């Protein structure tokens, strides 16, 4: 890495600290993941700026601050099994992969998912499993194997009214789910802690802007 690239990384980490990210584990995971590998050619100059960027098919790679605050809200442990809904370009998955045991990630756009998987493999990230499916239904039973419950769940697209029930069901008791909820223009990032099979503690984190959660799998080309 040249000095200019290293400086850009350091500047972003300092910026995230100033904005209130206190977890050194989260900051160092963000520093380790080469964000430039996840953004398209025309956005390379902004790869280490604290901003969301387009990744095709009307989708975006989240702003680093939002990735950081969501990841921090999960209070990850190295033994955690994490479910992510909305793989997108795979950036959030890469950050999570450095902080937990394994990431199970679901994307509804088949071709975005294939590109993300390739990128993550090229970066030699091995502790993830990715599938194209409707994440609102949770992780499906595959070859009679059910991966639920998950210690943590992160949803990177917004639910209109409330989190999908299937995701609550797949969260372990004691587990945490971070998810944006609300209509476009009025979304709030929420953190749910599952206290028992049917009780949750809920906390609002910040206002956010995410693309909506949509049903079904899309085979739209990149």
> Taking the complex as a whole, how short is the minimal distance between the CB of residue 107 and ligand SAH, in angstroms?
5
Q: How many residues bind ligand SAH (CB under 6 A)?
A: 23
187 binds ligand SAH (CB under 6 A): no
Q: What is d(CA 213, CA 136) in angstroms, rounded to the nearest whole number? A: 8
| Residues contacting 157, CB < 8 A, separation 6+ | 85, 86, 180, 210, 211, 212, 213, 214
Q: 188: which 2 tokens? A: 């709030």
**Residue 185: left (phi > 0), alpha (psi -120 to 50), or beta?**
left
Q: What is d(CA 148, CA 164) in angstroms, rounded to the nearest whole number? A: 15
89 binds ligand SAH (CB under 6 A): yes
106 binds ligand SAH (CB under 6 A): yes
Q: Are 213 and 155 in contact (CB under 8 A)?
A: yes
Strand order across the beta sheet in which 199-208 lies: 128-132, 102-107, 81-85, 150-155, 171-181, 187-196, 199-208
Cα atoms in the 13 Å half-sphere on the side-chain side of 103:
30
H runs (alpha helix) in 98-143:
110-122
CA distances 187 to 77, 109, 150, Å, are: 28, 23, 25
**13 vs 85 by CB, closer to ligand SAH:** 85
**21-60 residues near ligand SAH, rule: CB under 6 A:** 59-60
97 binds ligand SAH (CB under 6 A): no
> Taking the complex as a whole, how short is the minimal distance between the CB of residue 197 and ligand SAH, in angstroms?
24
Here's the x/- map for ligand SAH, 113-152, by CB under 6 A: it reads as: ---------------------xxx----------------
Active site residue 146: no
**146-165 residues near ligand SAH, rule: CB under 6 A:** 156-157
Catalytically annotated residue among 62, 97, 196, 218? 62
Contacting residue, 80, 107, 117, 151, with ligand SAH by CB under 6 A: 107
86 binds ligand SAH (CB under 6 A): yes
Residue 155's DSSP bridge partners are 85
167 binds ligand SAH (CB under 6 A): no
**98 vs 109 by CB, closer to ligand SAH:** 109
The residues annotated as belonging to the active site are 62
State the residues that interact with ligand SAH by CB under 6 A: 59-62, 85-86, 88-89, 91-92, 106-109, 112, 134-136, 156-157, 211, 213-214
């Amino acid at each position: 890495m040249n000095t200019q690239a290293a400086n850009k990384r350091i500047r972003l980490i300092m910026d995230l600290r100033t904005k209130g990210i206190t977890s050194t584990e989260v900051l160092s995971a963000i520093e380790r993941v080469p964000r430039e590998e996840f953004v398209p050619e025309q956005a390379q100059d902004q790869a280490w700026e604290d901003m969301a960027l387009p990744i095709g098919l009307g989708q975006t790679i989240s702003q680093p601050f939002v990735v950081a605050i969501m990841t921090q809200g999960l209070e990850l442990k190295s033994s955690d099994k994490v479910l992510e809904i909305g793989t997108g370009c795979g950036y959030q998955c890469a950050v999570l992969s450095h902080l937990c045991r394994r990431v199970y990630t679901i994307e509804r756009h088949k071709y975005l998912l294939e590109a993300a998987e390739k990128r993550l493999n090229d970066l030699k990230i091995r502790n993830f499993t990715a599938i194209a499916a409707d994440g609102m239904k949770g992780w499906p039973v595959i070859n009679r194997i059910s991966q639920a419950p998950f210690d943590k769940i992160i949803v990177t697209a917004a639910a209109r009214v409330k989190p999908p029930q299937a995701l609550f069901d797949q969260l372990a008791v004691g587990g945490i789910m971070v998810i944006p909820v609300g209509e476009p223009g009025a979304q709030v990032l929420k953190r749910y802690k599952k206290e028992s099979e049917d009780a949750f503690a809920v906390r609002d984190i910040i206002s956010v802007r995410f693309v909506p959660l949509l049903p079904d799998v899309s085979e739209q080309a990149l």
